Structure 1
Amino acid sequence: MNAPPFRLLRLDHVVLRVRDLAAMRAFYCGVLGCTVERDRPELGLLQLRAGESLIDLVPVDGKLGRQGGAAPGAEGRNVDHLCLRVDPFDREALAAHLEAAGARLGEFGERYGADGMGPSQYLLDPEGNTVELKGPPTSPVNSGAAPATGSAA
């Protein structure tokens, strides 16, 4: 298999589907020291700053949360997706590499992450988990720009 046309930098963000947003916010902010980065109640999305990364909290009964099915438990998943920051982000080279490896590509778009808005490619791992590969920012952190339609981040 060929080497990928990018290198992994770090975990950009993780998206947790939650039943009790207030309790989760209190835990991540009050206990672990996260701070609120962006609050998007119209989407059902609360983004918390965790050092260089983000933890996104998505209530299961919100617009984005309903897309994941049942609440976390035997019939539903808790983690929506994981996002890896990559460099460089050459969309054509990235897609060619992933397709040659047999990966199932998902939606491409501009999405908000730990560094701000930037290019992102969704794909599925062999077990059906969603992975997001995120490129460098095209606009700065906390720009207030809306994420791509149907995207949690």
Structure 2
Amino acid sequence: MSLRPFHLAFPVRDLAEARAFYGGLMGCAEGRSSEEWIDFDFYGHQIVAHTGGEAGDRASNPVDGHDVPVPHFGVVLTMEDWQALADRLVAAGVEFAIEPTIRFKGQPGEQATMFFRDPSGNALEMKAFANDAMLFAT
């Protein structure tokens, strides 16, 4: 089965802020837009920022010694792309919910991960595996 791009729509408080964050800082190309929404190319997937407020749920669950924000979304990058994005976010002074780190060291599913929020409070997790075959490892 070939993988198809996912689609995710999410609330933002301000489209200009979303455009600066996703387009400017994250480097996501902008697609179609209106006065109420913007499509972004999120590493080959379609995400759509819709006006409508800030993210409401700020719950978390413990994972490997960190409080992981729930809900969250993101994408699995190559290790090289993950490191480049981590470096760009650190240089920009982004506040991390979980700093760029390696999770599950020496275990199945070892991965690079980082969590941060967009200006509207939506939590993102960007991750990478040294071996993509470990994505669903148990």
Q: TM-score range by the shorter chain?
A: 0.3 to 0.5
TM-score by length of 1: 0.35
TM-score by length of 2: 0.38
